[in-house]
Amino acid sequence: MKHRLVNFTRQLALMLLVIWTVVSLVTLLIEIVPGDPATVILGETATREQIENFRIKHGLDRPAFFFSYGSEKGFVWNGADNRYADYWIGLLHGDLGNSFRTDRPVRDMIFERYPSTIKLAIAAMLVAIGIALPLGVLAGSRKNTLVDNAASFFALLGISLPTFVIGPFLVYLFAVKLGWFSPTGSLYPEDIVLPAVTLGAALSAILTRMIRSSVIEELGEDYVRTARAKGVSERMVLYKHVLKNGLIPVVTILGLQLGVLLAGAIITEKIFNWQGLGLLLLEDGIGKRDYRLVQGCVLVISITFIVANSLTDFVYRKLDPRIRLS
C-alpha cells in the first residue's frame, strides 16, 4: 500500500511538472512573438485611447514575468505583480481568464469545442485500428508474400503523406466528385468521416507496421508451436494467443499517438472547418494573439495527453501481469 502511494505521488508530481513546463514555455513563446494583441484585435483604426484602455483591462500594461529587461536598468525584479503569477493564481481557483477578443471565460469557450476534438480523435483512432489490425495480422502471418509487400507499401505511403495532402484529396474525391459527403463543416454525423480518415491514415500505417512486427515475433514463440501441436486452428492461434501478446507494444504506441492525434487535429480541423479545440486554438487563439485562449487550449491538450498516457499504463499492466508483479 505504501509503495503504491509513493508511486502515485511521484506520478502526480511528474504530471504537474509537465503541465507547468508546457504552459510556461507556451507563455514565454507567445510573449516574445512580435506584435501587440490590442492592435491585432481592435484593428489599425483603433485610437490610442482605445488601445490603452484595452491593455489596462486585460493587464497587458503590466510586466509579463517575474523579471523584465530594460536597456537602461538591465534585469528588474517585478515581484508578484506580473501576468504570469496572476494566471497561475487564477488557475488554482479554476479560472482560466477571459478571452481578449470576446471577453468570454476561456473555460466556457474550451468546453464548447473540447467534445468535438475528442470525438474526432477517438473516431480517427477507431479508423486506424480498424485498418491496421486485420492488415497487420495478415501481413505478419504471411511474411515475405505479396500480401505482406502490399501492406508494407500501404504503411510507407500512409506515413509519407501528410494530413494536408490526404485531406484535400479526400475532399476532392468524395465530396466534389462523388458528392457523398460535405466538403467542410461539423453539423451532421457523417461530417466526421473524412476528417477521421484523414487523421487516422498516418496512425494506421504506423500501427500496421507495429502489429506486423509483433505477430512475426510472437509466431516464433514456443507457446504457438504447442498450440498448433494440440490441433488449435490457425485463426484461433493468431487472434486469441498471438494477437493478445502482440498487442502490448501496440497499446503503448496508441497511448503516445493520442498526443499526435491532438496535434494533427489542428491541421485537420482547419482543412475541414471542424469546430473543435484545434480550430479554436489556431484561428481565435494564435491568429488573434489571444494569450489566455492559447494558454487554456494548450493546458487542456496537455492534461488530455497525460491522462491518456496514465490510462495506457493501466491497460499495459492488465495485458502483461508481469509488470504488476515487478
pLDDT in tens, 176-232: 888 888 887 777 788 888 898 888 887 888 888 888 887 787 777 777 777 777 777
For residue 64 the three cell numbers come to 509579463
CB-count burial class (<10 Å; 0-12, 13-18, 19+) for 166 = buried
Q: Cα 67 vs. chain centroid, distance in angstroms?
A: 32
Tell me phi and psi for residue 98, to 5 degrees: -110, 150
Q: Cα 235 vs. chain centroid, distance in angstroms?
A: 35
CB-count burial class (<10 Å; 0-12, 13-18, 19+) for 19 = middle
pTM of the model as a whole = 0.79
Three-state SS at 105: strand
Least confident of 149-153, 172-176, 252-256: 252-256
- CA dist 31 and 24 (Å) reads 11
Beta partners for 67? 77
Torsion, Cα 262 264 270 273, to 10 degrees, reads -60
Tens digits of per-residue pLDDT, 14-30? 888 888 888 888 888 87
Three-state SS at 69: strand
